Structure 1
Amino acid sequence: MIDALLGELGRRLTDRWLTRAVGPGLLWCAIAAYAIAPARRSTFDVHGAVLAAAKGLDHLIHQVSLGVVCGLLTVAVAAAAAAVATGAGALARFVWLGRWPGPSRPLATLLTTRRRAAAERRLAARRRALPAVYLPDRPTWIADRIRLTEDRVAAQYGLRLGLIWPRLWLLLAPEDRIHVTQARDRFDRSGDVAGWALLYAVLALWWWPAVLAGVLLAVIAWWRARTSAALFADVVEATVDLRHRALVTELGFAVAPGHPLDPATADAINDLLHKGGSGYEQVPSLPVPQPVPPSAPPPAPPSAPKESRASPVEPRTQEA
């Protein structure tokens, strides 16, 4: 369910790839050139590398066409390195989110079991108890944090996050979307940092200090991934808290102000968005009660006709 949420936001961030990848790619090319430079006589022979670079630039100044070709090749290598780092970052996010299919499933099961047992031991030591839904159920902490968002929404409102999010996204104002997009962008960039860590580790084959840069970047990527995943989950959950009533109303269901969403209504919404595939019966939408205008008072029933009363004095009769 959370895949739909992550996929929709991920498609909106692809246009930023080039602007944030060329700079790190050029820096990696510079360090790679120093690592494999034949003029370098020792590990930290910066002076020799600078002299070799100066000689190369002097040679290119007199051959403009060759300089242009070398510049284009450098940019192409930087873009290729950025593409590799992005792919490695996507793989890192795949691992962080606990999507371990095929042969890696036994390892995922083992890690999940060990994380759950460790959490239960910590709770027992503190003499505390938590619902089972809050215990680890994925091989990584980030995967559990994202999964917990969907479970919390389902427990509170009865709604399935993967079904309501695409519709809820259409109802959000642009300023509300920015918060969600920025949180997701931070998580994506943490994966890119992990990809660059791998590329710097590869340079250790020619220059061993590069492994230090790789380890440092890996630690930074792990820390940023945890914080950005927690921020992303909090922003998504807050968005559902503040906007789910608007979605319910737009779908034609009534929700009483100041009262939680009715479980039957939540099941009906899930079934409606799942197009009848959730197994719940769709109940008709409840009409919003309208105020009844005051009506005119009913007419009074007709009164019975009054009987005439005879005069007590009888009229005199005339004699013939």
Structure 2
Amino acid sequence: MNTVLAELGRKYAERWVTLLLLPGTLYVAGTAAACRLGHTHWADPGRLTALTERGGPIGGRTVSSVWLLAVVVLPVLSAAAGLAARGAAAALGRLWFDPWPRALDRPARRLTAARAARWEAAEAEYRAELEGPAVPDRLDALAARRNAVALVPPRRPTWCGDRLRAVDARVWGWYRLDVVFGWPRLWLVLLPAEQEALRAARTELDAAVALCGWGVLTLLPALCWWPATAVAAGLFAVGLRRTRAAVDTVAHLTEAAFDLRGALLARRLGFDVPARSRLTPQVGARVTAHLRKHA
């Protein structure tokens, strides 16, 4: 899925300006206000209105100084804050979507083992229910409980990582198509509306992870103004919830692209797949061999 995410995000680098630079201005203003209030006067708005009074830090400056702050200093600080938030978001994405680095191997193994144990217990309960009298509602509830942990046996320490990995596993298990090698070719046969839906899902995922990055960055003003801790927790919680929803959407749309256009991809590559027929694992294995080219 790393290939899929990278391909979807290529044309959207410019949107980081909207996602990070504009919120950076709000962040810089909020940080300045937090430093002005401090822990002691955390709820005193009078300390903020004093900034623009005659003897305040802003009211006592010349017009040129105020313009310098507004036109030069504020955009630079906002951009720096945006880059810092982007760095925090990239680090979070690395932990949520990819295998963890070797330095975190021990906690990664423990978290993965705990998630695998939960999944196996839910799977065993589901299988046991299958052996008895069929109760559709009960089976659906048990399947939903198992799928809430992961759609496939967990191999990653996070839900997001396993949700994206499940696309690779499910497409390979059903069609014998390799997602890494097949995705760039599949993208070329998708309809414009299908491509746009995938891009929109990726944009929403970027925005959600960026919101989590801002949540992490908001911990810095909390050193001066303790209510910022609640703001940081709120931003991170909302961003995490949106991230999970966006990851699920990206995964569903990517898998749907293989379901709907896998046979078309095979036909475009010259393989014999009758019209209105689905891609079989046998043909899918031949397509994968062709795409890998002995790699």
The alpha-carbon distance between structure 1 residues 39 and 92, as it changes in their structure 2 partners (threshold 3 A), is closer
For normalisation by structure 2, the TM-score amounts to: 0.86
Aligned amino acid, residue 36 of structure 1: C
Within 2, Cα distance between the matches of 1:128 and 1:91?
Answer: 41
Q: Specify the alignment match of 2:4 in structure 1.
A: 5
Asked if structure 2 preserves the Cα contact closer than 8 Å seen for 1:39 and 1:48, the reply is no
Q: Higher relative CO (CA 8 A, sep ≥ 6), structure 1 or 2?
A: 2
Q: Specify the alignment match of 1:155 in structure 2.
A: 173
Per-residue deviation, residues 20-51 of structure 1 (Å, max 9, x unmatched): 22221111111111111279961111122122
Asked if structure 2 preserves the Cα contact closer than 8 Å seen for 1:25 and 1:79, the reply is yes
Aligned amino acid, residue 24 of structure 2: G
Spell out the pairing of 1:271-282 with structure 2 (5 A cutoff): 271-277=289-295
Spell out the pairing of 1:53-72 with structure 2 (5 A cutoff): 53-54=52-53, 55-60=56-61, 63-71=62-70, 72=72
Per-residue deviation, residues 258-280 of structure 1 (Å, max 9, x unmatched): 54434342222112111222xxx
Q: Specify the alignment match of 1:25 in structure 2.
A: 24
The alpha-carbon distance between structure 1 residues 133 and 31, as it changes in their structure 2 partners (threshold 3 A), is closer
Question: 1:68: how far off?
Answer: 2.2
How many percent identity over aligned positions?
31
Within 1, Cα distance between the matches of 2:116 and 2:175?
Answer: 26
The alpha-carbon distance between structure 1 residues 261 and 41, as it changes in their structure 2 partners (threshold 3 A), is closer
Q: Specify the alignment match of 1:52 in structure 2.
A: 51
Aligned amino acid, residue 16 of structure 1: R
SS in 1 for 2:219: helix
Mean CA deviation greater in 166-175 or 71-80: 166-175
Aligned amino acid, residue 74 of structure 1: L
Structure 1 or 2, whichever has the larger Rg, is 1
Q: Specify the alignment match of 1:302 in structure 2.
A: none
Within 1, Cα distance between the matches of 2:151 and 2:190?
Answer: 29
**Unpaired segments of 5 or more residues in structure 2?**
131-142
Asked if structure 2 preserves the Cα contact closer than 8 Å seen for 1:40 and 1:49, the reply is no
Q: Specify the alignment match of 2:109 in structure 1.
A: 109
Equivalent residue pairs, number: 274
SS in 2 for 1:185: helix
The alpha-carbon distance between structure 1 residues 201 and 272, as it changes in their structure 2 partners (threshold 3 A), is same
Asked if structure 1 preserves the Cα contact closer than 8 Å seen for 2:39 and 2:224, the reply is no
- Name the structure where helix makes up a greater proportion of residues: 2
Aligned amino acid, residue 42 of structure 2: T
1:242 aligns with 2:242: no
1:194 aligns with 2:193: no
